Structures are given as C-alpha cells and as structure tokens.
Structure 1
Amino acid sequence: MDGFNLFLIALHVIGGVAAFGNRASANTKHRAVPFYNRRHSYYNNKQYLDLAAIQTGSYQLLRARSEGEWAPRTNAEAILGLTLANKRWYQKDNAATYISIKAMEVEILAQITVDKRFKDKKWAEGKLAQYVTALQLICQNPSKFYRNNLLRPLAGHLKLSEPTFRNNRFALSWIVIALCNNNKPIGNSSLAILTDHPGEYKFGVDEASMILMATTCLKELEAKTAAEEFIVNEMKVNMSQYNEFTKGLVVQALTAAKTEKVDDIIDMLRSDLRQAILSTTLLELPGAASHVLPALAKKSFLDASKVVCPSEAEILPSKEAPKIIVGIQVVDDLIRNKTNSWNVTTTQESDLYTTLQILAKKSKRFRFKSTQTSFGRSINSINGIEQDIGNKMFWRIEDRKGTPLSTGLSRTKPKDGDSFTLRLTKF
C-alpha cells in the first residue's frame, strides 16, 4: 500500500473513531464500548489502524444489537469478538456490555429448562462450544454455570454428533477447542476424526484453520503441520478469492499456531480486514465479529484458556503496615472523678476512631459510642456516661498539649508516640 493510500485510510479511520461515541449516544441509552488508551495507539501506523478498526467494528456490532438485528444464538459469537479484541470491554458497571452478557446467559438458561443435555443439533454441533468459550472469556466458570456443568453436555456432543462430525470437522474443532481450553479430554474416536487425512479439508481453508487451532491446543504435531502448510499455500496463491470471514479465521489460526515466516501474509490479510470494516457494515454480524475482531487484536479462540480471572490471579502478600503506639487517657472530673490511661498498639494508617475500637476490644475498662456528624465522627458516651447537651456537658478530645481537636475521630491520624485525652467537660 503506497503512502498516499495509507494516509487516506488513516483519515477514514480517524473520522470513524471520532464519530464512534457520538453515534453510540444517538442510537443507544447506554455508554459506548470503552476506548483503548490513545497514547498507545500511535506506536505505529498499523497498530493505530488496527485499534481504530476494532473500535469502529465494535460500534457497528453493538449498534446492530440495539436495533434488534442479532439473530438467535449469536450472542456468544459477538462476545467472543468483543472480548478477545478488547479485554476491558466487559465491565459490570457498563449497562451496554452487561446487557449483552445477560442476554447470553438467558439463552443458555432457556435451553437448560427444556433440555439439559443440549441435544438439539443447533446446540450440539458446535454452538454450545461457542457459549462455553464466551463464558470463559468473561471469567464465568462453565462447569458451574448457575449450578450447571456445561462441559458435561459439551463432551457428550462428541458422541451424539459423531456422524455429523465425520463430514464436518469445522464443527468438531469448535468442541475440541472449548474442551481443550478447559483441560478436558476429547477421546480417541474424536481425535482420530480430527486428525484423519492430514492435508485434506472438505470445507477448505475455513476447516483447516479451525483444525489448526484445535491441533495446536492438543499439540498434535503432524496434523498441525499439515494444516499450516495447506493454509499458507492457499493464501500465497488464492488470497484474493476469500472473504473476510475466512481471512479473519486464517489470521487467528496462524497467530495461535505461531507459524513462522508468514508475517507478510498476516499483514496483507489484516489490511484487507481493516478496509472491509471501514467500507462496509460487515461487523454488524456477530459471526463476522468473532472471526475478524480477534484477528485484528492478534488473538484467537485459544486465548480463552489464558484469561486470568480475579479469583485465579496470584495474590501477592501484602506488606503489613508499620506498628505505632498511641496513648489514650480518659478524664472524668465531673461525675466519677476518675482517670484511666492506656497505650494502644495500632497501625500507621489507622485513624483515631479505629484506635479507640482496638482499645475497646482489648480493655474491659473502656467502651464508647460515637455518631457520624458533618464534622466527622464524634463521641456520644464513654463507659456509660453520655454527653448531655441540655446541661452543657460533653466529651472533648484533646491532643497531648491539651488543645481540642478540630477534626473528628475518623479524620484524625495519630502518629507514633501521640497521646490523646478524652475529657468530660462543660461548655
């Protein structure tokens, strides 16, 4: 692509991205998909164009959803594309993304109510595998989906749909990928079908791409190598004959397999995908989104197994805050004529309210009640003696110099060696 054409495409993309937020607010009541940080977008022209195309395509997809144009059982494909393209897409506090997730859940739950085994061929020939993968991408455990183990019927599909899979290894590959991503076995019979006749693919490049991802996950070297060679040779000779669905799948497969010496092929395919997004409404189709958006983000369906969820993330041991000692004195010269003193061990970041709570837990001779006010938390009573505003009696908090505090308990941060006096007094 010459420099002038690249410049024109860049202008087109910039215009599309700038209009993204405006169009979204005009077509939906929800917030738009979160943008990528643009400071990182200028790393180079290709990266900027990829990110801009992803944003434009994501807008097209969600606009189609808001206009009711998604077909039944396509929520998972849309979420696959959106989530693989932008791991920050799904946010629970974003109504636009949250609604998409809930729609996907409802589809699954609706099917469970009529058939827990998902025997309907619309689900049993790869569709459930897409939903399992989408759930995995948003950190929902498919084996514990509302107390249902979706991996069980998915594994059952290998036998249930075996006659179909002998003629349709594209669909079989989807189930293999979903099970492999969850570290589940597929069995010898399914493996034999998947790896049979390496280099021969009834459905051409599309089937070869799915088999390449499946065998990459399974580490089946012979079948993986044969699929790679078939795809690369086809792209070298007949790339222009394939549509964007296929091109996206090819990029995903070659990326997942880490195929060597194909950077030029991947660059050309990704360029075609960018231009298709900018010149058509291709990404209004969830199926297209699941193929194209991950390809532009250098991701594949296999990346569902690499998602690090909060519960699984390594929790680093927190450094314990330094300890400090604070002196607390209670002085009652009005009713009981008593004075009590304590040294309280607390942490450096604790406020005075927390310090008093620690003291109340450790000493039977100290208890207190407090109230939140506009000036902060203040003391109501100590050791059963309540303030009496009518009689002008209250508990005053003083620092070590006897100066009344200007802030409440929760806004006062003691330092090591500080001391405070809680004095029953009159005003």
Structure 2
Amino acid sequence: MLPLMVSVFCLLAVSIRDVSGLCSIPANQQSLVTALLHQMIRSVGTSGLPNPSVLLAMNLAGKPDVAAEKLLVQQLKEDAVQKLLNDQSFSSGQVALYILALRSSCENPFKVSALGKTIDLVFVLDEKMKEEIAHIEKYQSPLTTYYPVALGVLALCEEGNKAAYPAAETLAKAALNNQLDASFSVDTASVADLALTCIFNGKSITGVGTVVDISGQTRSTVKEALSVLTSGILKAQKSDGVIGNIYSTGLAAQALTAVSDIYPVSDWNCPMTMAKVLAEIPEDTFSLPMAASQVLPFLKGKTYLDVTSICVPENVPDIRVEYTVINDLVGNSFKFSIWVTVSEGSVLLDVLEKAEQVNPKEFSFTSENSSMGTFVTSIHGLAGSSNDRTYWQFYSGTAPLKEGVGTYIPKNNEHILAIYSKY
C-alpha cells in the first residue's frame, strides 16, 4: 500500500476531459493520484539515467515540484549532449521524448546547452526520422519500430517542423496497411493516434521559409488512419476497463481522449477505465516511474498533445532590428540595410528570414543545419569558400557574435551586420 503523505503541493484537478459525462476522479480517491504523483517525483535524481517521460508527466500534472523539475531538466540536457558528443545510442524515440519533455518545461529544444556545448535536438530528430523513412521505403519496416517513429512525428509536429509531414504520411500508410506491428500494439497505435491528430488538427506544418499544406489526399489518408487506429484501440478494451494491458491503458486513454470526436461516446467505457486505474494505484501497479508517467496525464485530463500549450507566451511585444549585409572583399561590392520587426525573443535566423521575405532580391540567403546549430552559407548569392577561406561573419555593432544565427537573440533597436570576411 502506498503511503498517503500530507501534501504541500496543490492537489490535481478533480475532473478529466468529460468524454462520457461521468469520467472523473471521486473526491475520496483524489489522494491516490496525489500519492502516485509524489512517488514519481521522488524518483528524480535517484537513478543513473534521467527519464524524460517523468518530466513530461510532472509538467502535464501542473509542475508540482520546481526543484525536481529543475534538476531533471539539467540532467536531461547533460545526458543529451553527452550522447551526441560521445556517439552513444540515441534513438529517434528517445530524442523525441527529450524534445517533448524539455518543451514542457519551457526549454528550447533547438538550443540545448550543457557541459559547455549547444546542440539542436530538433535537427537531430529530423535526421533520424529521415533514416527511419528511408528504411521503411526500402525494407517495409522502420530502422527501429513504429513506436519511436510515431513519437518522432508527434515531437516534430509540436515543434512545427516540416519534416513531420512526410513522416506522418508514411506512418498513416503503415497504419492502413496493418504494418505498425506484427500484431496490433495498443501502445504504438495510441502514440500514432496522438501524432496523427496533431498533424490533422494543425492543417499545416511550417518549416524554415516553407509552409506545407496537408489538405487533399494526404489529409484524407491521415483521417482514415486515425479511424483505423482508434477502432483497434477500442477493440482492445476489456470488461474491467483495461485497454490492451494495464500498462498500455494510460496511453490508450490519452489517445481516446484526444480523438473523442471521431467515435460514439458509448464505444469507450471511460468511467470503467478510470475506476480500474485508480484501483491499481494502491496495489503498487504503477510503482515504476515509467508506468506512473504514462497514466498520470490521463488522470490529470491531459495528453501529450498539450505539451506546447503549457508554455505559450502571451502578449509578446515586437522589436525592431536593423540588419545590414556588406561585401567589400570580392567582385562587385555591395551594402544593403533594412529594418525588420520580429517578436521579442526571436533568434537572429528569424531576422534573416523576415528580411528575405520583405526584400528577397537583396537579402536572400542559404543555410545549413547541423547538430551544433544553423550556419549561413551564402547571402545575396555570395557563398563562403573553404578554398578561399571566406565566410559570412555576424556582428552586433562592432562586436563579433559568439553565438550562431539559430541561437543568438537580438535586442530592440540592435544593429546586426553580416560582413563577408576571411579567416
């Protein structure tokens, strides 16, 4: 039996999303959920490997322990940097969970800094998902499994990354062709349901300088896949409310909550599922942090689709930045200046994109991504050259920038210069 400690934290909300009209936590069982949450929090810092799913669940439950959150964020950052710098195993699913977890703590996964290094986890996931898709196209199966592929689609979608589009299309087709697993997996179907719901509800994915429309045939394919996946999850219900098995029930309940508008209310006995989950808490069924982390969002009335809504800024003011590009080094000299308006907190890459949007003739540019950030390779058609040892160097006034365009945050009325230079 779990000890029911007196809490110094706020209790979880009583009701979850009202799927059936009756699916809520009885008042006399609220303490069970609170105890489960605290048990999971106590696991932070006690094991060798930080768990992104724990951070994700904590934040979806309302950020109940600031100290534990801060410690886990730092541990995850350091672990991610170490994995990438030391070429350690870092699967697409793991990267996706790190992105979702860090974003839920209002951290920027495009700029993860630890141990004196900065990495771009979204770029890393983008590359890993391309490898997954290439493997599926060649061998009709992913490099890993469809579970991490679905997590990857979800994370990329919530970050607004255009790579989510082809990955989602591949995932949807696999679902329609019954390829997600050798036998139906509730866990995989549930995460796929959440990922494709993000794609379907988003209607479009915005990439760097690109908007990818998911209307038409692809939108129809995603919708059909959602129907097939949801039907499979509903068929996996047991008479006691369990969906698949007790450990897959949390993810399944999240998925059914997210897609409640595409099936009849009577198809899911949500009160029975809620009652079964609550009954299992004092039996220590969810004593492992990972097990608790997947069921807690359901008990809180949240799903992994709520990650980006946790840290949405309100009334962010605009700033004006002067941007100048100068070449006095090769060919015909040029100097162009422009004032652009971006949201406060935008990175320098946003300034370059806005300048190109306003005046592409003078401020067009190209860039390349790497796990260490974004690098500008050309401006106004003039590219850097390793043979000539030339490159575009960025300045704030007269001071060279020590950060890249993907991480540096300009200030209001700051003058940014890009000067074609030699090294």
Q: TM-score range by the shorter chain?
A: 0.5 to 0.7
For residues 210-221 of structure 1, the aligned pairs below 5 Å read 210-219=191-200, 220-221=222-223
The worse-fitting range, judged by mean Cα deviation, of 256-265 and 167-176 is 256-265
Distance 2:105 2:143 in 1: 32
**Secondary structure, aligned partner of 1:141:** coil
Give the structure with the larger strand fraction.
Answer: 2
**For 1:75-124, what per-residue CA distance to the aligned partner results, in whole angstroms no more than 9, with x for missing partners?**
21111111112x23253xxx333222222222123224324xxxx5x422
Contact preservation (8 Å) 2:146, 2:188: yes
1:212 and 1:224 in contact (8 A); partners too: yes
Find the aligned partners of 1:100 and 1:124 in 2 and give their Cα distance.
20
Asked if the contact 1:75/1:103 (under 8 Å) is kept, the reply is no
Q: Name the counterpart of 2:260.
A: 258
1:23-422 equivalence runs, <5 A: 34-36=9-11, 46-48=25-27, 51-65=30-44, 68=46, 70=47, 72=49, 74-85=50-61, 87-91=62-66, 95-115=67-87, 120=88, 122-146=89-113, 147-162=118-133, 163=135, 165=142, 168-186=145-163, 189-198=166-175, 200=178, 201-202=180-181, 203-219=184-200, 220-235=222-237, 240=242, 242-259=244-261, 260-262=263-265, 264-280=268-284, 282-283=286-287, 285-309=288-312, 312-314=313-315
Residues 132/89 of structure 1: CA separation in 2 closer, same or farther (3 Å cut): same
Tell me the CA shift for residue 151 of structure 1: 0.6
Q: Which position in structure 1 is the counterpart of 2:388?
A: none
Query: Is contact 1:155-1:186 (8 Å) kept?
Result: yes
Relative to its length, the structure with more helix (as a share) is: 1
Distance 1:90 1:314, change over 3 A: farther
Identity percentage of aligned residues: 23
Task: Classify 1:295/1:144 alpha carbon distance in 2 versus 1 (closer, same or farther; 3 Å).
Answer: same
Q: Is the 8 A contact 1:216 1:257 kept in 2?
A: yes
Question: Which digits, 9 at most, give the CA deviation of each residue in 1:177-196, with x for residues without a partner?
Answer: 00000111236652343012
Larger radius of gyration: 1
Distance 1:40 1:218 in 2: 27
Q: Secondary structure at the match of 1:127?
A: helix
Whether contact under 8 Å (2:230, 2:256) holds in the other structure is: yes
Q: Which structure 2 residue ranges, 5 or more long, are not aligned?
A: 17-21, 136-140, 201-221, 318-423
Q: Which runs of 4+ in 1 moved over 4 A?
A: 37-41, 236-241
Contact 1:173–1:210 under 8 Å retained in 2: yes
- Report SS of the residue matched to 1:139: coil
Which 5+ residue runs of structure 1 have no aligned equivalent? 1-11, 22-31, 317-427
TM-aligned CA deviation for residue 129 of structure 1:
0.5
C-alpha distance in structure 1 between counterparts of 2:83 and 2:34, whole Å? 32
Residue 50 to residue 113, structure 1, CA distance change in 2 (3 Å) = farther
- CA distance in 1 between partners of 2:265 and 2:48 (Å): 35
Count residues in correspondence.
276
How far off its partner does 1:44 sit? 10
Residues 245, 64 of structure 1: alpha-carbon distance in 2 compared, 3 angstrom cutoff: same
| Alpha-carbon offset, residue 240 of structure 1 | 4.5
The one-character-per-residue Cα deviations of 1:324-371 (angstroms, maximum 9, x if unpaired) are xxxxxxxxxxxxxxxxxxxxxxxxxxxxxxxxxxxxxxxxxxxxxxxx
Q: CA deviation at 1:53?
A: 2.9
| 1:129-168 C-alpha deviation (Å, 9 max, x unpaired) | 1010011111011112224321101111112334362672
CA contact (8 A) 1:50 1:297 kept: no
Q: 1:238 to 1:206 in 2, by over 3 A?
A: farther
On the 8 A contact 1:244/1:292 being kept in 2, the answer is: no
> RMSD of the alignment, in Å?
3.3
* CA gap 1:178/1:212 in 2 versus in 1, 3 angstroms: same
Q: Does the 8 Å CA contact 1:198/1:222 hold for their aligned counterparts?
A: no
Following superposition, the deviation at residue 269 of structure 1 comes to 1.5
Offset at 1:63?
A: 2.9
SS in 1 for 2:302: coil
Counterpart Cα distance in 1 of 2:167 and 2:13: 45
CA contact (8 A) 2:147 2:192 kept: yes
| TM, length-normalised to structure 1 | 0.57
Hey, what's the Cα distance between the residues in 2 that align with 1:270 and 1:188? Answer: 34
Compute the displacement of 1:61 (Å): 1.6
**Matched letter for residue 271 of structure 2:** D
Q: 2: distance between equivalents of 1:251 and 1:282?
A: 15
